């Protein structure tokens, strides 16, 4: 056993010490993030493109690296230049470890982290470098924990194929689609024609299974404005935070979770991240439904070293999530052989054709529809991400029916510029015994308006001293 192996328990211990120290300094949100399951942690800035192992690091001070490999050496960083060189090399070694890990070379990854940690131990503490040293120490410790956690949760599944299984769990979901959910299945299948072909093309281009293009059938029924109890929105049912993480913008004017193309791109990015975590599509889809942290906790609670089979922990998932993958397989089974399961699949809806024009100012869709002589809801259907049924004040690529772009641009200056109505409200401090219904009655408004302006969910309880916004009468 060499000195680097002896360092590893120190690294693990330091992680817990760092977590404790960071929790005391950071906000509750940041502390919660740092204490999340190691397998769920993803670095925001990925490593550089992989290079041959022998050419990865151009060491500025080879003596420093040699010191980490010779347990008898006592080289120290005596000057400011030495200190920075040690820290820079430790950072490079950490990045190299990430590259090794992505190539499944666990031994080399851990070796690189060992060397990086040994380097920072040789850096003396002072006011100028303490923070940088502690940041590196924490990063290295966290990476080691992630790597060991990944050994217990990742399997090598096929990246471009979803294994078809028709077991008792799947048969139960097929029976549901054949009976109580038959109309839902047929209506969702018909709506899929508007979006699924483009989804399949995007998945194929990304190297992912095309079968994933059927996932919105169980997510949203291919309804563009489907909204769940957990505030998940759109065809792929993104909650706001996950949508934001994968690049879906949401502001007063637009919600890109409702855009079929943009939300599909975000779903593809999420699938790739989850597959890197878990390695098989059954677990990936379970995590897509209830979150990678929840699935990771269930896997670790099994106290096994390797996740061989999704059905091993199927029963321990939340009921909705446990049904999710069998339900998806049931959809694929019916689609692949509809006659065998008693289905005659109807003709699909066709995608809406369009062309795009650039609009530079806020104009209501209804005003544009009247000017173009088209149905009022046609522009809304083509541009579902517009929350106010109006273009925003910035440059926006608006979809219009084919052949209508030039006519719209020619008449655009004659259309009125639209300004959204402002919400007027008063701030109320909640007193003992007050409820939403009492406050709505007192201020002559409605419960729904109070809930909307405060972004409350149904069943929200008020707390004494809480400040809430109350819309005044006749305000929007």
Catalytic amino acids?
Answer: 219
* C-alpha span between 161 and 158 (Å, rounded): 6
Backbone phi, psi, residue 57, to 5°: -125, 130
Structure tokens at 125: 């503490």
Instruction: Kindly list the distances between the CA atom of residue 119 and the CA atoms of 57, 83, 136, 308, 463, in Å, as whole numbers in the listed order.
Output: 15, 10, 10, 38, 52
Instruction: Kindly list the distances between the CA atom of residue 203 and the CA atoms of 97, 212, 340, in Å, as whole numbers in the listed order.
Output: 30, 8, 28
Angle between helices 196-205 and 260-278 (to 10 degrees): 40
Structure tokens at 473: 């009468």
Structure tokens at 472: 């005044």
Instruction: Kindly list the distances between the CA atom of residue 423 and the CA atoms of 252, 362, 426, 452, 475, in Å, as whole numbers in the listed order.
Output: 12, 18, 10, 11, 6
> Which residues are within 8 A (CB) of 74 and not within 5 positions of it... i.e. 6 or more apart?
none
* C-alpha span between 224 and 238 (Å, rounded): 12
Stated as kind and residue range, the H or E segment containing 292 is helix 292-301
CA 56 distance to own-chain centroid: 31
> Which residues are within 8 A (CB) of 395 and not within 5 positions of it... i.e. 6 or more apart?
358, 359, 360
Which string of b and e fits 68-92 if b means at least 16 CB within 10 Å?
beeeeeebebeeeebbbbbbbbbbb
Pairing of strands 467-471, 425-429: antiparallel
CB 329 within 8 A of CB 165: yes
Which string of b and e fits 160-175 if b means at least 16 CB within 10 Å?
eebeeeeeebbeebbe
Instruction: Kindly list the distances between the CA atom of residue 60 and the CA atoms of 88, 89, 257, in Å, as whole numbers in the listed order.
Output: 9, 8, 47
Tell me if residue 386 falls in helix, strand or coil.
Answer: strand
Tell me if residue 52 falls in helix, strand or coil.
Answer: coil
């Amino acid at each position: 056993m060499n000195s680097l192996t002896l360092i590893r328990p120190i690294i693990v211990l330091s992680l817990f010490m760092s977590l404790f120290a960071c929790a005391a300094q950071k906000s509750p949100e940041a502390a919660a993030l740092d204490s999340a399951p190691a397998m769920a942690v993803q670095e925001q800035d990925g490593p550089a493109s992989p290079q041959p192992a022998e050419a990865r690091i151009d060491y500025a001070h080879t003596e420093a690296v040699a010191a980490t490999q010779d347990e008898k050496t006592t080289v120290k960083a005596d000057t400011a230049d030495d200190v920075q060189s040690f820290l820079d090399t430790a950072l490079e070694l950490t990045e190299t470890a990430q590259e090794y890990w992505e190539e499944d070379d666990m031994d080399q990854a851990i070796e690189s982290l060992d060397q990086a940690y040994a380097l920072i131990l040789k850096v003396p503490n002072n006011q100028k470098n303490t923070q940088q040293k502690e940041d590196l120490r924490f990063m290295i410790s966290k990476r080691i924990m992630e790597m060991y956690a990944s050994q217990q949760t990742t399997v090598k599944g096929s990246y471009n194929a979803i294994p078809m299984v028709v077991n008792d769990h799947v048969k139960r979901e097929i029976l549901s689609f054949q009976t109580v959910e038959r109309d839902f299945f047929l209506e969702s299948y018909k709506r899929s024609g508007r979006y699924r072909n483009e989804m399949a093309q995007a998945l194929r281009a990304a190297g992912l299974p095309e079968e994933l293009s059927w996932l919105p059938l169980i997510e949203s029924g291919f309804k563009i404005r489907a909204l769940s109890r957990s505030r998940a929105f759109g065809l792929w049912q993104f909650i706001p935070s996950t949508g934001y993480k994968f690049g879906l913008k949401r502001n007063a004017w637009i919600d890109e979770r409702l855009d079929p193309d943009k939300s599909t791109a975000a779903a593809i990015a999420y699938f790739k991240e989850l597959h890197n975590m878990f390695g098989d599509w059954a677990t990936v889809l379970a995590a897509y439904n209830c979150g990678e942290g929840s699935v990771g906790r269930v896997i670790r609670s099994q106290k096994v070293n390797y996740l061989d089979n999704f059905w091993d922990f199927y029963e321990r998932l939340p009921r909705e999530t446990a049904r999710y993958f069998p339900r998806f397989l049931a959809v694929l089974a019916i689609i692949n052989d509809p006659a065998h399961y008693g289905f005659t699949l109807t003709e699909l809806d066709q995608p809406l054709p369009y062309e795009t024009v650039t609009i530079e100012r806020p104009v209501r869709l209804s005003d544009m529809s009247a000017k173009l002589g088209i149905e009022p809801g046609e522009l809304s259907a083509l541009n579902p991400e517009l929350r106010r049924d109006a273009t925003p004040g910035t440059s926006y690529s608006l979809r219009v029916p084919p052949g209508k772009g030039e006519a719209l641009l020619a008449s655009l200056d004659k259309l009125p510029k639209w300004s959204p109505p402002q919400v007027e409200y008063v701030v109320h401090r909640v007193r003992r015994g007050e409820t939403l219904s009492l406050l709505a009655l007192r201020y002559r408004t409605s419960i729904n308006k109070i809930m909307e302006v405060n972004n409350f969910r149904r069943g929200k309880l008020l707390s004494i001293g809480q400040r809430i916004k109350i819309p005044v009468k006749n305000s929007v």
